């Protein structure tokens, strides 16, 4: 097209061979400088956040279209999955439900006791968090970063900085929020650090993603630190981002040389960082003035979905009565 | 004729972009060739008047958006790669099939090395030699399309 235009303007017919506009080198210089400026604007100055958000929203239908074939495949395979598989799964879930409801009964009791103790200690504030269920749309395409995209965004009240967990533990943190989706940086990404605590002895540390393999590192711990293989790491909650006590990883390997001041501690993430689709986005714990909880009103754990909490309420109500009698 | 060609170009770019948006995961993500760059190189060889350094830059920005990387990373990578492609575009007519393959492979490698340099500056870590697999798979895709009879320019088209 450019050539036609040029031919119209320029009456003197130059051979088409040479009609190429600015030289490739000039173009290279121009666009390279433009790219560098863009990179600076994006990383250092944060000017392009809203632009990226709006473009990503435009892209959303295309993304859904691209995801459609896999979604269709998953749905059909779900539909045709054998009856006995469903039955056994149902049985397992029932068993787990029973176990968890028992655990929950104990937990409610503990929560009430804890609240009571808090009142005694005159601690005015407790931490509450809410959650949104989401599904992973796709794994990030950047080979240098460990990221996933989930199908909940600004419109579902997701904010950057929220923690993302699955059934087994923490998997990451929301880093970018678009109107209809958001980007989650996994805990195995090198840029993500999270404050953790060893469950056994309460030792605090900071876990970093390892990047290349899906492991976590615990740097800056001295070689004589009290840590063993199989120790469980949980979130310490002192950062105000992750709710305290969520499982993060288990210690897999400890290498401590006498010539090094720090031990090299490799941990394996507890959550299915690479193999789950359903995740839960947990909001930052917010300071709420404590309400005197009664045993008939179970403490919302935040991790429960709305559909299940009704069922739980019935169960806990039933269980609450005998314990009430004990207390008096 | 050029309008028609332009439409085909847009169609292929859209197709490459959709392939980028597919939910790749695990091994597929590592091996996945850079379809966008392949389409770009193909059209650069076929119709350098339609597709030039500026086009590459724009498409690079699109890829940046889709990949969630910092704006300008892929744009710069594509710009540099296409610059090399344009520089040798005239000579390409004399290339035989094998020479053209080497040319395309080196272009793919240039783009990957370029991206690696940018990412390393940004604080990324080299993820191992597996990183260069997309160049090989891209070459394979090129070979297959040539085998299917797609006219990729060069001397090979005579037969």
pLDDT in tens, chain A (328 residues): 555 655 555 544 445 555 557 787 888 889 999 999 988 888 888 778 888 888 888 888 888 888 888 888 878 887 777 777 888 888 889 888 888 888 888 888 888 888 777 777 765 555 556 788 888 888 877 778 888 888 888 888 888 888 888 878 888 899 889 888 899 988 888 888 888 888 888 888 888 888 767 788 888 887 778 888 888 888 887 877 787 888 888 888 888 777 777 888 888 888 776 666 788 888 876 655 444 444 444 444 444 444 444 444 444 444 444 444 444 4
Residues 6+ apart with CB under 8 A from B34: B108, B111, B134, B138
The whole-number pLDDT of residue B79 equals 92
Beta-carbon separation of A48 and B52 below 8 A: no
Please indicate whether residue A317 or residue B116 has the higher confidence score (pLDDT): B116
Kindly list the domain boundaries of chain B, sorted by start residue. Answer: 2-154
- Percentage of chain B modeled with pLDDT above 90: 18
Nearest by CB to B23, from A4, A34, A67: name it: A67
pLDDT reported for residue A292: 45
Contact A2 B49 (CB under 8 A): yes
Q: How many CB pairs under 8 A join A and B?
A: 136
The pLDDT of B93-121, averaged and rounded, is 87
Residues in chain A with CB shorter than 8 Å from the CB of B23 are: 66-67, 70, 137-139
Instruction: Read off the pLDDT of residues B71-84 as tens digits, 9 standing for 90 and up.
Output: 889 999 999 999 98
Domain spans in chain A, listed from the N-terminal domain onward:
2-43, 134-286
Judging contacts by C-beta atoms under 8 Å, the chain B residues touching residue A33 are none
Q: Which residue of B has its CA nearest to A38?
A: B72
Contact A32 B72 (CB under 8 A): no
Contact B65 A52 (CB under 8 A): yes
Confidence grade of residue B112 (pLDDT, cut at 50, 70, 90): very high
* CB of A98 less than 8 A from some CB of B: no
In terms of CA atoms, which chain A residue is nearest residue B6? Answer: A1
Q: Inform me whether the C-beta atom of residue A274 falls under 8 Å from chain B C-beta atoms.
A: yes
Nearest residue of B to residue A185, measured between CA atoms:
B68
Alpha carbon distance A293, A296 (integer Å): 8
| Record: contact A142-B67, CB cut-off 8 A | yes
Which A positions 27-56 lie with beta carbon below 8 A of chain B? 27-28, 31-32, 34-39, 41-43, 48, 52, 55-56
User: CA of A252 to nearest chain B CA: how many angstroms apart?
Assistant: 21
Burial A77-89 (b: 16+ CB within 10 A, else e): eeeeeeeeeeeee
What pLDDT sits at residue B76?
A: 93
Distance CA A75, CA A69 (A): 10
Instruction: Output the pLDDT for position B111.
Output: 92
Alpha helices in chain B (DSSP H): 2-21, 26-31, 35-46, 53-67, 73-87, 97-121, 133-147
For the entire predicted model, the pTM comes to: 0.72
Closest chain A residue by Cα to residue B129: A212
Question: A324 or B143: whose pLDDT is higher?
Answer: B143
- To the nearest whole Å, the CA of B5 is away from the closest chain A CA by 10
Q: What is the pLDDT of residue A201?
A: 84
Q: A118: which 2 tokens?
A: 């808090």
Model confidence at B152, pLDDT cuts 50, 70, 90, reads: low
Is A211 close to B69, i.e. CB distance below 8 A?
A: no
Contacts of A153 in chain B (CB under 8 A): none
Q: CA of A175: which chain B residue's CA is closest? A: B68
A299 min Cα distance to partner chain B (Å): 39
Rounded (10°) CA dihedral A158, A149, A307, A166: -100
Q: How far is CA B155 from CA A81, B106, B159, in A?
A: 53, 19, 9
* DSSP for residue A166: -
Tell whether A4 is within 8 A of chain B (Cβ).
yes
**Contact criterion met (CB < 8 Å) for A62 and B17:** yes
Query: Do A145 and B124 make contact, defined as CB atoms within 8 angstroms?
Result: yes
Fold for the domain defined by A134-286? Thrombin, subunit H (2.40.10)
Closest CB to B70 among A25, A39, A137: A39
CA distance B143 to B150: 10
Residues A163, A127: contact at Cβ < 8 Å? no
pLDDT tens-digit series, residues B15-37: 888 888 887 777 788 888 888 99
Asked if A65's CB is within 8 angstroms of B66's CB, the reply is no
The minimum CA-CA distance between B121 and chain A, rounded to whole Å, is: 12
| CATH class, B2-154 region | mainly alpha
- Cα separation, A75 vs B94, in Å, equals 52
Query: If you average pLDDT over each of A98-107, A172-181, B93-102, B124-133, which comes out highest?
Result: A172-181
Size of chain A in residues: 328
């Amino acid at each position: 097209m450019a050539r036609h235009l040029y031919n119209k303007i320029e009456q003197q017919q130059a051979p088409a061979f040479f009609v190429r506009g600015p030289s490739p080198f000039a173009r290279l210089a121009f666009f390279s400088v433009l790219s560098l400026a863009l990179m600076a604007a994006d990383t250092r100055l944060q000017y392009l956040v809203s632009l990226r958000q709006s473009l990503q929203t435009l892209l959303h239908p295309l993304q859904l279209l691209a995801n459609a074939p896999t979604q269709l495949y998953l749905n059909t395979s779900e539909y045709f999955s054998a009856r006995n598989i469903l039955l056994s799964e149902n049985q397992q879930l029932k068993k787990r439900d029973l176990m968890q409801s028992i655990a929950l009964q104990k937990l409610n009791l503990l929560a009430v006791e804890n609240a009571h103790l808090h009142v005694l200690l005159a601690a005015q504030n407790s931490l509450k968090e809410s959650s949104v269920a989401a599904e992973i749309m796709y794994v990030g395409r950047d080979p240098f970063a460990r990221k996933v995209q989930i199908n909940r965004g600004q419109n579902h009240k997701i904010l950057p900085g929220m923690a993302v967990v699955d059934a087994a533990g923490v998997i990451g943190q929301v880093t970018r929020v678009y109107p209809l989706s958001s980007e989650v940086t996994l805990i195995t990404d090198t840029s993500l650090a999270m404050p953790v605590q060893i469950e056994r002895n309460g030792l605090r540390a900071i876990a970093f993603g390892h990047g290349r393999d899906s492991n976590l590192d615990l740097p800056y711990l001295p070689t004589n630190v009290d840590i063993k293989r199989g120790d469980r790491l949980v979130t310490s909650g002192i950062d105000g981002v992750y709710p305290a006590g969520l499982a993060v990883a288990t210690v897999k390997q400890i290498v401590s040389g006498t010539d090094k001041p720090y031990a090299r501690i490799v941990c394996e993430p507890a959550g299915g960082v690479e193999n789950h689709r359903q995740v839960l986005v947990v909001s930052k714990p917010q300071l709420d003035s404590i309400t005197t909880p009664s045993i008939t009103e179970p403490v919302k754990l935040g991790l429960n979905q709305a559909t299940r909490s009704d069922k739980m309420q019935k169960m806990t109500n039933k269980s609450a009565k005998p314990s009430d009698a004990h207390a008096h | 004729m050029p309008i028609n060609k332009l439409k085909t170009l847009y169609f292929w770019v859209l197709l490459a972009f959709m392939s980028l948006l597919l939910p790749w995961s695990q091994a597929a993500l590592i091996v996945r060739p850079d379809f966008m760059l392949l389409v770009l190189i193909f059209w650069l060889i076929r119709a350098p008047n339609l597709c030039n350094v500026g086009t590459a830059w724009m498409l690079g920005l699109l890829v940046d958006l889709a990949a969630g990387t910092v704006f300008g990373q892929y744009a710069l990578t594509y710009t540099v790669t296409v610059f090399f492609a344009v520089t040798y575009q005239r000579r390409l007519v004399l290339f035989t099939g094998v020479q053209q393959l080497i040319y395309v492979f080196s272009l793919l490698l240039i783009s990957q090395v370029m991206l690696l340099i940018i990412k390393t500056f940004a604080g990324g870590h080299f993820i191992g030699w597996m990183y260069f697999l997309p160049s090989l798979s891209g070459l394979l895709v090129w070979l297959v399309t040539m085998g299917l009879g797609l006219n990729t320019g060069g001397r090979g088209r005579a037969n």
